[in-house]
Amino acid sequence: QVHLVESGGGSVQAGGSLRLSCLASGAMNSNSCMGWFRQAPGKEREGVATINTITGFSYSASSVKGRFTISQDNAKNTVYLQMDGLKPEDTAMYYCAVKSLGCYSDSWSSQNLFEYWGQGTQVTVSS
């Protein structure tokens, strides 16, 4: 069992920044894919960015490339999402999730493969 706790959400104006954190505890596989998904009101949940916990290689959605950066601190069992240049369309509940056996280009955002999820942290960007 793996427990994920997100933090760092909040309300900012467009152009601002936030850094989300996801602390993992429990029996997590060392070769995992850990990352962030988001769900805006009335929309389906989508992948934002994920990172391979062994290699540090990451994937991200085209909508956030150049603005969001995913990183990890394995010593702290924590994954971060640095969000810069925030836009109103980034407003959503952001969820941390993890799956075993690493991230791959054809499945990095396949939600059904992610075994554990956090409760989410709200990000609101005003114009």
Q: What does the pLDDT look like over 30-79, one tens digit per residue? A: 789 999 999 999 999 999 999 999 999 999 999 999 999 999 998 999 99
Query: CB-based contacts of 112: which residues, under 8 Å, 6+ apart?
Result: none
3-state secondary structure 7-35: ECCEEEECCCCEEEEEEEEECCCCCEEEE
| Contact by Cβ (8 Å): 72, 78 | yes
DSSP state of 40: -
The three-class DSSP label of residue 54 is coil
Segment 79-111, tens digit of pLDDT: 999 999 999 999 999 999 999 988 998 999 999
The three-class DSSP label of residue 62 is coil
Residue 28 has pLDDT above 90, yes or no: no
Percent of the chain whose predicted confidence (pLDDT) is above 70: 100
Q: Quote the pLDDT of residue 15.
A: 98
